[in-house]
Structure 1
Amino acid sequence: MTIKTVLTVTSPDLGEADLKLAATLCEEIEAHLAVLIVALAAPPPIGEYAAVVSDIWLQERQADLAKLKERSDAVSTWLASSRVSTDISSEYQEITWSDEAIGRRARYADITLLGPDMLSHDTLKEKVVEGALFHSGKPLLLIPDGATATLKPKRIMVAWDSRVEASQAVAQSLDLLTVAEEVRLVLVDPTEGEDAHGAEPGADMATFLARHGVKVTVDRLPSQGKAVASVLRQHAADMAAELLVMGAYGHSRLRQKIFGGVTSSMLGEPPIPILMAR
């Protein structure tokens, strides 16, 4: 995947930090920056009090639209001074359908970027994640606060579990992997067998990557009773990785919410920039 268009999502409640970050990354690789401004509409009133509060609800929606227009104008002015190619669009969406609207827009970008500001916006963050991962077919890039962001990482860690989601993440990050100086294919508690990692865990994917010219090393790590996410975090720190590539939601979203999982943990507290795909 050659990155030529980066989508970043913002809202009337957020500042310019994520936009500046996205613009810097686009300038680094000479890519186009697409900005989507999303305002989430309050659900319509129902029940016996609906008639009483309907006027207030309509006033709130009008105020939301005014804020969205004001934010769009401000972002347009800011983008006009940017040194990269840009475009801007906006959506006023009901919360229920906002992930699909975001996903439709993300189909026309190579990757969707979530910067530190969006990662702190719980409701909209969830909708952007779901839209990008479940409705666009494109990867998602998370950049936490304080991380050094680059789309030319020298050291990349790939979390490999032999699932289709991890395979998609590898395929969609291949251009980044081929130019990296070091790539670690990391397996936690891998199991041998035809239905798991094969006769030699990690060997098949390492061979695939090597054929593409990737400088890859396989690291098989024991969890020793720790959560897989904790093991991955520590290994990323140990190798000073600049990017973590991983598949998202190998288990259902419901199971992730109830029992937790690697995806939920990484979305909650990404240790370094993470490229997710499914």
Structure 2
Amino acid sequence: MSHLMQDIAVFFDDSDLGQSILETGAHLARDQNARLIGLASNEKNDATPEDGFARGEGIVDVIRRLESSSESHLLHASQSLANVAGRYGVTAEFRVIPYFGSDIDMQLNSFYSDLLLVGYPEALGTPFAWSSIKALQQTGVPILIVPRAWNGRAIARRITVAWNASRQARRAVADAFPLLLAAEAVDLLIVDPERRAERYGEDPGADMAAYLSRHGVQVNLRRASSQGRPVAETIVAHALEMNSDLIVFGAYSHSRISEAVLGGVSRTLLAEVPLPLFVSY
């Protein structure tokens, strides 16, 4: 059985930031020997204030111009995907998702991928009502959130795994396994293990570190004290100190609430992305 990802999807557009996200996806696809699926919405709104005053035949002209703009946008996006795939030597597929599409469109284009990449704070190329939380909840496909400042650099060489011995954290480890195996170093980080000592056993984190090591992961067990700081801040500080280029964590939510409210750590990490985040649900 292969321990590499097979299909990596990325939302992008033909903007500079969109191209940066695409570059990151191609880099990861090459490292994983995966197929790169480029996803783009068909909406490129180049409307002007004057368009709102169009009447009669003028309305038809505006519609034609906007349709032409959308077609041009998608053509440039598809060409960008082909160019990037060629440079990185990966197989690529281009898909268009309706900008005002349904959740079904999102699911059909996410279900059959191992990972979905998206930019932050601008999720370029995504449908109108798209959100990372909704995608996680509806598909279960892990998402890799790439911040604007990352600029297409390589990721997943040095990984920090935020471990709290929860179901969500265990799911994240399982989903990220192909990346963990390929990484040069993985830090299994536990913040304030004494707070919930019953979760970890006598030697907090040792069992999971041993599990990862037996499967071939180059893992280092780290324990850190928050010293009164928020846990998310402690995780980020450790990741930056260790020159990590990816944080892996499991998003936590209260199942009793119909529209899930994320736990404090998840909410902070997702809202303040300083480096790429691999989030599983």
TM-score by length of 2: 0.76
Equivalent residue number for residue 72 of structure 2: 70
> Which of 210, 228, 233 is matched with 1:207 structurally?
210
Residue correspondence of structure 1 range 3-82 to structure 2 within 5 A = 3-11=5-13, 15-39=18-42, 66-82=68-84
Q: Please list the CA deviations of residues 220-242 of structure 1 after superposition, one character each: whole Å capped at 9, or x if unmatched.
A: 22222211110001111111112
- Where does the alignment leave 5 or more consecutive residues of structure 1 unmatched? 43-56
Shift of the 74–160 alpha-carbon distance from structure 1 to 2, 3 Å rule, reads same
* 1:110 corresponds to 2:122: no
Equivalent residue number for residue 56 of structure 2: none
Equivalent residue number for residue 91 of structure 2: 85
1:94 is displaced (CA, Å) by 3.4
RMSD between superposed Cα atoms in Å:
3.4
Structure 2 contact 44–73 (Cα < 8 Å) conserved: no
> Which of 142, 146, 170 is matched with 1:167 structurally?
170
TM-score by length of 1: 0.76
Shift of the 188–137 alpha-carbon distance from structure 1 to 2, 3 Å rule, reads same
SS of the residue corresponding to residue 273 of structure 2 reads coil
Structure 2 contact 4–32 (Cα < 8 Å) conserved: no
Q: Please list the CA deviations of residues 1-42 of structure 1 after superposition, one character each: whole Å capped at 9, or x if unmatched.
A: 522221111357774332233233333443221111125799
> Which of 213, 216, 230 is matched with 1:227 structurally?
230
- State, as a whole percentage, how many aligned pairs show the same letter: 30
Q: Please list the CA deviations of residues 58-81 of structure 1 after superposition, one character each: whole Å capped at 9, or x if unmatched.
A: 999887655443322222233333
SS of the residue corresponding to residue 7 of structure 1 reads strand
1:246 is displaced (CA, Å) by 0.8
* 1:149 corresponds to 2:153: yes
- Where does the alignment leave 5 or more consecutive residues of structure 2 unmatched? 46-58
> Which of 252, 255, 275 is matched with 1:272 structurally?
275
Equivalent residue number for residue 197 of structure 2: 192
Equivalent residue number for residue 52 of structure 1: none
Q: How many residues align?
A: 255
